[in-house]
Structure 1
Amino acid sequence: MLVLPLFLIFLNFVNSLKILTLLPHAGKSHFVAYESILRELANKGHEVHVYSEFPQKVPLPRYKDFVLEKVHQNSTEIINMKDLPGEFWTQHIILQLLAQFAQKACQKLDQKIVKDLLKSMEKYDLILIEYFNTDCFLGFAHIFKIPFIALSSSYPMPWYASRFSRIDNPAFVPVLFGNFAKHMSFSERLQNTIMLGYCKSMYYLLYDVPGNRRAKAFFGDDLPPLEKIAENTSLMLVNNHVTLNGAFPQVPGMIEVGGVHLRNPENLPKNIEKWINESSEGVVYFSMGSMLIGHSFPIKKREMFQRAFSRLKHRVLWKWENDTMPGKPDNVMTQKWMPQFDILCHPNVKAFVAHGGLLGMTEAVHCGVPVVVMPQFGDQFTNARALEASGGGVILDFSTITEDNVYEALQKVLNPKFKKQAEELSARFKDRPMSPMDTAIYWIEYVARHKGAPHLKTAAVGMPFYQYLLLDVIAFLLVVFLSICLVSYYTLKMLLKCVYPAKVKKTKTN
């Protein structure tokens, strides 16, 4: 009777993997996007070693934290809304800001815990590593000589498409930092094309060159260029989904797992549940996420929202980090922290006012709640346009908001017809052959089973640009065409001389 259980235990032991996870970026929202995958891998019997700034609050079997020290005092996840919007948040400055984040991440190579990893004799089966703004930790894949999988917490950054030969034609593929939907006018396609080239150029100058320099200093001068190492990426798990982000050309090595961080809703705190349940018209939830300080709203804009909310029959839950809110209407309840996903999935929550962060947008779509989106920076504009195009929300320009357009936007999404659209989007989002988590775990184990799964890469990976764009073929065909034209021209000229010699001679004389 004990034979079968012992055999299953032995089989699980044999198939378990030892996985190294490298997440040097200091953004908590990025870590949240991957955390559920790492925990599930540990629950399934794999040994997971995680290098990040975010250790588990409660130790988890087979999950081992290696805590990276914070390089700077100010978190990258906290931004004062009084700085938004404005010239400071142009795309150029955002790219420079990401370059600063990349520099801070690369500085963590000098920490003792990372140096110990390099010197260690640990034998890993697989590496999970974030693809965001720097590759300086990618040298571990070269040193350890094992397969590695990229993790993307958002729609892929514009500089990573070439690693998988994913088509990023700016005619219909919006650049992540733009403010375009997939159907673009001529001027938008022009801007999108310029922005794509600009982003890739800036990546090379501000991210790739410094990252290679830092990596060579740490791993040794014989380290290949990081871009060359990256060509061996087995696949990328991307935190998006076609129903929300739109349909674009895809390759086998890029797997969509949007919603992988979602779980089953839990019971709400009693005070919040009471506030929601006792609202006869329903509740509007308002949060600017973990990165933007809600109470740093410019006073005039805050008052616009307060007046608009006071005109509603609905109650409002407002994530507000201060103890008090001057001028708070009676139908508004504030709290420093709120269980966002659990609130959104409550049947009496009718709308969500948000900043367009991908995790929050995904939660709203999953719960079937329409959104009023006020994008601020980064990928939030792209997320907002995608949500609007899919019928899940409307966009408000934060820089030009008034009491009236806030109220009008709320009235639009609170309309039962809009709620139906959001529910239909939710149904499409959930309708998949496998859950996001099962998909992620399957492909991680697949790569390990098939020794990196090199067959997932297209032949275009690593191909010189002139070959990829067929410039050499076009040049050859042009030469052939011109040669035929020249041969035809001189042949015809000779024939004319033979047939009409006198006429040709007379023409020359004249």
Structure 2
Amino acid sequence: MRLLLLCFVIVKFVNCLKILTLLPYAGKSHFASYEPLLKELANRGHEVHVYSEFPQKKPLPRYKDFELDKAHQNATEILNMNDLPGKFITKYLTPILLTEFAEEICQKLNQNIVKDLLKTKEKYDLILIEYFNTDCFLGFAHVFKIPYIALSSCYPMPWHAGRFARIDNPAYVPGHFGNFAKHMSFSERLENTIVLGYCKLLYYLFCDIPGNRKAKAFFGDDLPPLEKIAENTSLMLVNNYFALNGAFPQVPSMIEVGGMNIGKPKRLPKNIEKWINESSEGVVYFSMGSMLIGHSFPIKKREMFQRAFSRLKHRVLWKWENDTMPGKPDNVMTQKWMPQFDILCHPNVKAFVAHGGLLGMTEAVHCGVPVVVMPQFGDQFTNARALEASGGGVILDFSTITEDNVYEALQKVLNPKFKKQAEELSARFKDRPMSPMDTAIYWIEYVARHKGAPHLKTAAVGMPFYQYLLLDVIAFLLVVFLSICLVSYYTLKMLLKCVYPAKVKKTKTN
């Protein structure tokens, strides 16, 4: 028995990884999508070193925080519902805004804690790094010469498909910042193509080129181009899942782990539980997430929602960051913070009004709660269209909402038939061979076991575009075809001269 226990301890020790995690982006919702994975890795015996702006409130075994200084400007200081122009900013201005965030990330290379990492004598087995709007920190993968895995908190960004040779054909793959479903009209396919090219061009000019310059200044002139380092990425864990986001072409090195943030519901605070339990008709939950402050609602639109909610027989839980709400109806309860997932999984919660953030969408889908979505920014429009196409929600245009269409949308999702659709979507979303968390950890350990798992990459990774698109083959075949045509033409002409020489000569004389 002692020998068996000793063997178990030895195996556990041998399989323990020291993992460096680089999460320099300042978005809290991004970190929230990775945090459960990092905690679970530590819980399973791996040593996890995390560089981010979001340290744990309480120390955890085998989890070590390295806190980055806060960015001078982040998304929570910019996104105000009073001045977001909706769809236009999503398609054309969001990529520009992301270049500004990229600048903030690259500046973090100059922080002392990052400089110390460059000089560290720590021996890591693996790097986890967020892929978002810049590759500045990717130089650490080159310096440490170890495998690295990309993390994406959302549907893959337009500039990430190429480094994994994932097909992003705009004929049927909606762009990250578009407002399109899988089945697009001609005009939508045209715009989707334009937006895709526009995003890739902006990234190259304002993220990739400056990022390479700053990375070389930090890591040294011998640093290869960041895009070349990125081509050696072992794996990408993507926070989406086909049952919700739609089925698109994938490659073995891109793994869908949507719902990885979802755990088990906890007991609700007594005041919230009492409010929900005592509602005979059920409860509607309303939250605009962590990046959009609820009290930044334009006054007229807030009053529209208040009047629409007052017409319901249901009670409403409204995440509202101020102490008071002028004109609050009696059937509405406000609170600065609410345990969203625990609320959504309560059986008496009948609908969710939200902004379309991916974490909230996956929580609602997991709990089988239909959603009224009012997308505001970034990937929220794409998330909303995917949810609507899957039967889990309806979309409202925040810029044109009225009291009546808010009330009508709520009535639609509160219908038992719609609830059944949401439950069917939930069943599809949860029906997997392994949980999202187990899937993510399996593939992380797989990459470590197989020394970076280069066999997961297709031969298309790093291939010149003219080869990938078969332009050289097409050109060769055209040359062959034209050559055959020319040879056939002149051969036929010569034969005609031999067979009908007199006729040919007479024709020339005439």
Give the corresponding residue for 1:464: 464
Is the contact made by 1:77 and 1:292 (CA closer than 8 Å) also made in structure 2?
no
Percent identity at matched positions?
A: 86
Within 5 Å, which residues of 2 pair with 1:110-125? 110-125=110-125
Q: Which amino acid aligns with 2:70?
A: K
Query: 1:147-170: CA deviations, max 9, x gaps?
Result: 000000000001100111101000
Give the corresponding residue for 2:93: 93
Is the contact made by 2:90 and 2:378 (CA closer than 8 Å) also made in structure 1?
no
After TM superposition, give the deviation of residue 10 of structure 1 in Å. Answer: 1.7
After TM superposition, give the deviation of residue 84 of structure 1 in Å. Answer: 1.9
After TM superposition, give the deviation of residue 483 of structure 1 in Å. Answer: 0.1
Give the corresponding residue for 1:418: 418
Give the corresponding residue for 1:376: 376
Is the contact made by 2:178 and 2:381 (CA closer than 8 Å) also made in structure 1?
yes
After TM superposition, give the deviation of residue 120 of structure 1 in Å. Answer: 1.1
Is the contact made by 1:260 and 1:437 (CA closer than 8 Å) also made in structure 2?
yes
Query: 1:216-263: CA deviations, max 9, x gaps?
Result: 000011111000000000010000000000000000000000000111
Give the corresponding residue for 1:477: 477
Give the corresponding residue for 1:51: 51
Residue 20 to residue 257, structure 1, CA distance change in 2 (3 Å): same
Q: Which amino acid aligns with 1:479?
A: V
Give the corresponding residue for 1:402: 402
SS of aligned partner of 2:82:
helix
Residue 75 to residue 481, structure 1, CA distance change in 2 (3 Å): closer
After TM superposition, give the deviation of residue 83 of structure 1 in Å. Answer: 1.1
Structure 1 unaligned spans of 5+: none
Aligned residue pair count: 510
Residue 157 to residue 90, structure 1, CA distance change in 2 (3 Å): closer
Q: Which amino acid aligns with 2:106?
A: C
Give the corresponding residue for 1:34: 34
Query: 1:86-117: CA deviations, max 9, x gaps?
Result: 58825332111111111101100001111111
What is the distance in 2 between the residues matched to 1:483 and 1:89?
A: 51
Is the contact made by 1:53 and 1:70 (CA closer than 8 Å) also made in structure 2?
yes
Within 5 Å, which residues of 2 pair with 1:85-164? 85=85, 89-164=89-164
Give the corresponding residue for 1:290: 290
Residue 14 to residue 508, structure 1, CA distance change in 2 (3 Å): same
1:18 aligns with 2:24: no
What is the distance in 1 between the residues matched to 2:317 and 2:443?
A: 39
Is the contact made by 2:20 and 2:128 (CA closer than 8 Å) also made in structure 1?
yes
What is the distance in 2 between the residues matched to 1:389 and 1:77?
A: 32
Within 5 Å, which residues of 2 pair with 1:111-510? 111-510=111-510
Q: Which amino acid aligns with 2:332?
A: V
What is the distance in 2 between the residues matched to 1:250 and 1:298?
A: 41
Q: Which amino acid aligns with 1:338?
A: M
SS of aligned partner of 2:333:
strand
Greater mean alpha carbon deviation, residues 199-208 or residues 474-483? 199-208
Q: Which amino acid aligns with 1:323?
A: D
After TM superposition, give the deviation of residue 74 of structure 1 in Å. Answer: 5.1
What is the distance in 1 between the residues matched to 2:74 and 2:367?
A: 33
Residue 465 to residue 75, structure 1, CA distance change in 2 (3 Å): closer
After TM superposition, give the deviation of residue 461 of structure 1 in Å. Answer: 0.2
Query: 1:350-385: CA deviations, max 9, x gaps?
Result: 000000000000000000000000000100000000
Residue 352 to residue 86, structure 1, CA distance change in 2 (3 Å): closer
Residue 400 to residue 469, structure 1, CA distance change in 2 (3 Å): same
Is the contact made by 1:21 and 1:49 (CA closer than 8 Å) also made in structure 2?
yes
After TM superposition, give the deviation of residue 2 of structure 1 in Å. Answer: 2.3
What is the distance in 2 between the residues matched to 1:300 and 1:85?
A: 16
After TM superposition, give the deviation of residue 502 of structure 1 in Å. Answer: 1.2
Q: Normalising to structure 2: TM-score of the pair?
A: 0.99
What is the distance in 2 between the residues matched to 1:31 and 1:251?
A: 25
Residue 77 to residue 252, structure 1, CA distance change in 2 (3 Å): farther
Is the contact made by 1:351 and 1:370 (CA closer than 8 Å) also made in structure 2?
yes
Is the contact made by 1:139 and 1:226 (CA closer than 8 Å) also made in structure 2?
yes
Is the contact made by 1:78 and 1:292 (CA closer than 8 Å) also made in structure 2?
no
After TM superposition, give the deviation of residue 79 of structure 1 in Å. Answer: 2.1
What is the distance in 1 between the residues matched to 2:456 and 2:351?
A: 41
Is the contact made by 2:124 and 2:146 (CA closer than 8 Å) also made in structure 1?
yes
After TM superposition, give the deviation of residue 8 of structure 1 in Å. Answer: 1.2
What is the distance in 2 between the residues matched to 1:280 and 1:139?
A: 58
Q: Normalising to structure 1: TM-score of the pair?
A: 0.99
Is the contact made by 1:85 and 1:398 (CA closer than 8 Å) also made in structure 2?
no
What is the distance in 1 between the residues matched to 2:470 and 2:73?
A: 49
After TM superposition, give the deviation of residue 77 of structure 1 in Å. Answer: 6.5
What is the distance in 2 between the residues matched to 1:262 and 1:300?
A: 35
Q: Which amino acid aligns with 1:249?
A: P
Is the contact made by 1:176 and 1:379 (CA closer than 8 Å) also made in structure 2?
yes
What is the distance in 2 between the residues matched to 1:488 and 1:73?
A: 69
SS of aligned partner of 1:64:
strand
Query: 1:275-310: CA deviations, max 9, x gaps?
Result: 000000000000000000101100110111011101
What is the distance in 2 between the residues matched to 1:73 and 1:259?
A: 29
What is the distance in 1 between the residues matched to 2:87 and 2:419?
A: 36
What is the distance in 1 between the residues matched to 2:15 and 2:90?
A: 49
What is the distance in 2 between the residues matched to 1:237 and 1:63?
A: 20
SS of aligned partner of 1:82:
coil
Structure 2 unaligned spans of 5+: none
After TM superposition, give the deviation of residue 3 of structure 1 in Å. Answer: 2.2
After TM superposition, give the deviation of residue 75 of structure 1 in Å. Answer: 5.2
SS of aligned partner of 2:353:
strand
After TM superposition, give the deviation of residue 85 of structure 1 in Å. Answer: 2.4
